[in-house]
């Protein structure tokens, strides 16, 4: 089916809501996730395999997925099999849950130490969208989505947040399955066809395309524009200040 939108334009006469991925789109936390994975996995990989490469391993196997799904995908890429373990495993235990817990602990320590920054262009876009009547949501695979959005000072700019904690409670599959984005659209009470998704990671772009969203915008921070388009992005920008917003959401929409 031919897509409706082909320009760097967000038309609010056709779109009633915009759903933002959080890490790397609204908040500058993607690099902290990557650094936390490298910190944990380099120690684990010593004597087993080559060190964790942020550009290759993180972007290809981990980025955009839930913590445990990303870890499983990465380990499979190295031919490494670990027992699943359980959520009660000690951080650093050589299980999927143990390594995931170690990454989570290190990530939160970095957040507590350095705080969470938001992207100015995302803040400006959110203000403009809300001024024109658009509903907005933040979506993230991280279980700490609400904490990150609040720490970045963005909570008042979103109607709702759907994060990894919600996904676990509802047993929603992770990206590239569209379930978490579809849940955000459901809570916003706007059909996916009239909802835009702004994403950065390949699994998230694929999820938005599979979900039938009316506009899929990719933010290319890592020079993978062609791959983002192949996954289903209608628009690829390097920064959200390249997006132009037109029109207003009609009352009652």
96-114 helix and 67-77 helix, angle to the nearest 10 degrees: 120
Token reading at 153: 């000072």
Query: How many whole angstroms from its chain centre is CA 70?
Result: 13
Cis previous bond, 176, omega within 30: yes
The predicted structure's pLDDT at residue 228: 97
Which residue has tokens 């290759």? 56
Q: With beta carbons less than 8 A apart as the criterion, state whether 115 and 125 touch.
A: no
Spell out the per-residue pLDDT of the chain, length 253, in tens. 444 444 478 999 999 999 999 999 999 999 999 999 999 999 999 999 999 999 899 999 999 899 999 999 999 999 999 999 999 999 999 999 999 999 999 999 999 999 999 999 999 999 999 999 999 999 999 999 999 999 999 999 999 999 999 999 999 999 999 999 999 999 999 999 999 999 999 999 999 999 999 999 999 988 999 999 999 999 999 999 999 999 999 866 6
Token reading at 162: 């759907």
CA distance 166 to 40: 25
Query: Given 9, 23, 28, 234, which residue is catalytic?
Result: 23
Query: Given 9, 21, 104, 177, which residue is catalytic?
Result: 21
Tell me which residue of 104, 184, 179, 95 sits closest to 147, measured CA to CA: 104
To the query of whether residue 21 is one of the catalytic residues in this protein, the response is yes
The model's pTM: 0.88
To the query of whether residue 53 is one of the catalytic residues in this protein, the response is no
The four Cα atoms 61, 67, 69, 75 give a dihedral, to 10 degrees, of 60
Q: With beta carbons less than 8 A apart as the criterion, state whether 27 and 118 touch.
A: yes
Q: With beta carbons less than 8 A apart as the criterion, state whether 42 and 54 touch.
A: no
């Amino acid at each position: 089916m031919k897509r409706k939108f082909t320009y760097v334009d967000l038309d609010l006469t056709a779109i009633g809501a915009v759903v933002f991925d959080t890490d790397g789109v609204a908040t500058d936390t993607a690099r902290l996730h990557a650094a936390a994975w490298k910190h944990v996995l380099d120690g684990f990989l010593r004597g087993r395999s080559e060190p964790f490469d942020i550009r290759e391993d993180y972007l290809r196997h981990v980025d955009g997925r839930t913590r445990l799904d990303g870890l499983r995908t990465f380990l499979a890429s190295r031919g490494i099999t670990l027992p699943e373990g359980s959520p009660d495993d000690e951080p650093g235990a050589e299980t999927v849950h143990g390594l995931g817990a170690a990454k989570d602990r290190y990530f939160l320590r970095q957040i507590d130490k350095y705080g969470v920054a938001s992207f100015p262009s995302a803040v400006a876009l959110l203000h403009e969208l809300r001024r024109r009547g658009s509903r907005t949501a933040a979506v993230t695979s991280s279980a700490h989505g609400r904490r990150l959005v609040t720490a970045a000072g963005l909570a008042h700019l979103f109607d709702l947040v759907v994060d990894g904690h919600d996904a676990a409670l509802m047993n929603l599959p992770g990206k590239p399955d569209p379930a978490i984005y579809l849940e955000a659209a459901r809570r916003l009470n706007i059909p996916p066809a009239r909802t835009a998704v702004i994403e950065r990671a390949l699994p998230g772009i694929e999820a938005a395309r599979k979900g039938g969203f009316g506009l899929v915008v990719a933010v290319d921070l890592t020079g993978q524009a062609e791959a983002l388009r192949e996954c289903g992005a209608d628009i690829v920008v390097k920064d959200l200040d390249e997006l132009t917003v037109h029109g207003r959401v009609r009352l009652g929409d």
